[in-house]
Amino acid sequence: MNKVITHSLFTDFDIDLFKAGKHFKLYEKLGAHLLEVNGVKGVYFAVWAPTAQSVSVIGDFNYWVQNEHLLQVRWDSSGIWEGFIPEIEKGTLYKYKIQSSIDGVITEKADPFSLYCEKPPHTASVVWDLDYSWKDENWMHSRKETNALDKPFSVYEVHLGSWKRGEHNRFLTYLELADDLVNYVKETGFTHVEFMPVMEYPYDPSWGYQLVGYFAPTSRFGKPQDFMVLVDKLHQAGIGVILDWVPSHFPDDSHGLGYFDGSHLYEHPDRRKGYHPDWKSLVFNYGRNEVRAFLISNAVFWLQNYHIDGLRVDAVASMLYLDYSRNEGEWEPNIFGGRENLDTISFLKEFNEVVYANFDGVQTIAEESTSFPMVSRPTFTGGLGFGMKWMMGWMHDTLQYFQKETVYRKYHQNDLTFSMTYAFTENFMLPFSHDEVVYGKKSIASKMPGDEWQKFANLRLLYGYMFTHPGTKLLFMGSEFGQNDEWNFEKSLDWHLLQFDYHIGIKNVITDLNHLYKNNPALYEKQFIAEGFEWINYSDHQNAVVSYIRKGNNPEENLIVVCNFTPVIRYNYRIGIFKSGKIVEIFNTDAAKYGGSSVGNNNDLQIESIPYDGRDFSVELILPPLSVTVYSFK
């Protein structure tokens, strides 16, 4: 005898929205929900499995026996199976046992909408709730202003499992991180943290980019409410939270979304569109309404229930192109004969429209590595609708330039200045991400040429150039103190390096650059528009020096930036200025506190009526070796 009571959370309108792909709060209906029905407490289960012949809930409450608790399929051809099981409590382990009507195959699946999962390598879902009393009212109230595109975004990218480890190399918990990480991010001055995927994933070496539990923060570090505490405390410290989000692909683990009900339910049935050859994973079917609703509901879920401030969408390029990592004959053109995935483009536009229409102050950020047009332009102008896009070309060209011995840099200055030819075609974020410090690429610090002094001077120069270049900023953990070794996800960062002066100096320079960025509107008010930048001189190849002006809304607050990419001190170096008066050096990467040689301009500098660089006025500077110096007008 079946022990499941007929019950439903779905209205006819819910079903119509679901079928149309327009239900963006599916997590309120599908999944496991603690309820009281007719005075009896228990759990309502609902799962989408349209080709199933039968669906049973199995778990520790029924000794994992099939057919003890059979769900009922709805009459409306939605493919949803549902039912209420009395006396099940929070913390109960469960899965769905699904027998396919196609070939009788039986799958045993975790709940796609589970709020909490067993700690890997265990794979069951856990009945849970999201009860929590938030204390971040001030942040949420001011977020629309704080998180705007004309405000500072200095992002600290974090892998929770390896930022810091506890005794015997154990993971720190969300609650421990809510103290240590929050204090550290506040101390170093970053405006945001970006967490590499926190959604449940089975395989540690995937770093979280192969997800199984899309609605569950990983249990490696604690319970869902513990993750809420971490987000809450970051907000209370004035720090925004961005999550990596992976709608591009998912693993084929037996308990996951793949072949869910014996059919290609979530993945595209055509292997040319439904399988990713690089990652050996499955690709979502973006043309299926219910799958689109699942993914957009997932985005809304994190923004709504975890107060997340931004989503960085992973691997967008792999989604946009039908021929991505495929050889000739392994892909099929779209209906217009092109290589663009039209279903993906439509999905990404709708995702961004839903996010921006429903959440004030939230930003979406695309990791998109090609020249696909208008990624960060509004959908009503034909764009994809993202708030920002990673500037992968800048990252590649800049690191390539900096890895050259300084004596050769005069021959490659165009590599450095090229970014300004396209810097304002998108709302660009400048990333030095985890991808640049793995797989033999070495750490950012280890890429720098020269002896020890020059390596660290180059690193300070790199960061000074990054923070004064138009665009928002992202830096992977460990890079802010000059980690020597490549990132290893299996252990803590090398925090012991902070006992050494050069590494302390890198941390100090990043801290001060963060404050320089936040405290000078010229560095952020027009960071995405051409009016915010003006070259003074980009053609002094012989000296490997560039100079430019950063502009905000108030011309009196404009800043002058001069970069010297060689270890040679440049005395009496003249640059053109557009007005008379005085300037003062407000920042210098060669300062002693950073491990530099203390060369610089200590006094006010008088602007002279000597034409130079096509301007009526000019000033003479001392340029420290391998340095960025920043000047404001008196």
In degrees, rounded to 5, the angle at the alpha carbon of residue 558 between the alpha carbons of residues 553 and 560 is: 150
- Exposed, middle or buried by CB within 10 Å (0-12, 13-18, 19+), for 296? buried
**231, exposed or middle or buried, with CB in 10 Å at 0-12, 13-18, 19+?**
buried
This prediction's pTM: 0.96
Active-site residue, selected from the candidate residues 118, 367, 426, 512: 367
- Answer yes or no: is pLDDT of 634 > 90: no
pLDDT, tens only, 181-216: 999 999 999 999 999 999 999 999 999 999 999 999
Q: CA-to-CA distance for 339 and 333, rounded, in angstroms?
A: 5
C-alpha angle 270/271/274, rounded to 5°? 85
Residue 42 CB neighbour total at 10 angstroms: 21
Domains of the chain by range and CATH?
Answer: 12-109 (2.60.40.10), 148-254+264-523 (3.20.20.80), 530-633 (2.60.40.1180)
What pLDDT digit, counting tens, does each position of 248-264 carry? 999 999 999 999 999 99
Catalytic residue among 232, 267, 314, 525: 314
Q: How far apart are CA 59 and CA 95, in angstroms?
A: 6
Q: Which amino acid is at 317?
A: A
| Contact assessment for residue 330 and residue 272, using Cβ atoms and an 8 Å cutoff | yes
User: What is the percent of the chain where pLDDT is above 70?
Assistant: 100
Token digits of residue 374? 């208008």
Confidence of residue 103 (pLDDT cuts 50, 70, 90): confident
pLDDT for 1 beyond 60: no
Shortest CA distance to 468 belongs to which of 547, 392, 556, 539? 547
Q: How far is CA 133 from CA 179, 229, 305, in A?
A: 18, 9, 11
The answer to whether residue 314 is catalytic is yes
Q: Please give the average per-residue pLDDT across 119-131, as a whole number.
A: 97
Query: What pLDDT is recorded for position 532?
Result: 97
Site of tokens 């138009």: 470
pLDDT at 2 over 70: no
Q: What are phi and psi of 523, to 5 degrees?
A: -90, -10
Helical spans, DSSP H, in 89-241:
137-146, 174-188, 224-236
Span 41-62, pLDDT tens digits: 999 999 999 999 999 999 999 9
For the residues 2-10, what does the mean pLDDT come to? 91
Helix, coil or strand: residue 20: helix
Strands (E), 348-506: 363-366, 388-390, 428-432, 472-476
Annotated active-site residue 136? The verdict is no
For 230-286, write each residue's pLDDT tens digit: 999 999 999 999 999 999 999 999 999 999 999 999 999 999 999 999 999 999 999
Is residue 378 helix, strand or coil?
coil
What is the chain's mean pLDDT, rounded?
A: 96
CA distance 606 to 438: 47
> Is cis: bond before 205, omega within 30 of 0?
no
The model's pLDDT over 301-348, given as tens digits with 9 standing for 90+, comes to 999 999 999 999 999 999 999 999 999 889 999 999 999 999 999 999
User: How far, in Å, CA of 300 to CA of 200, rounded?
Assistant: 17
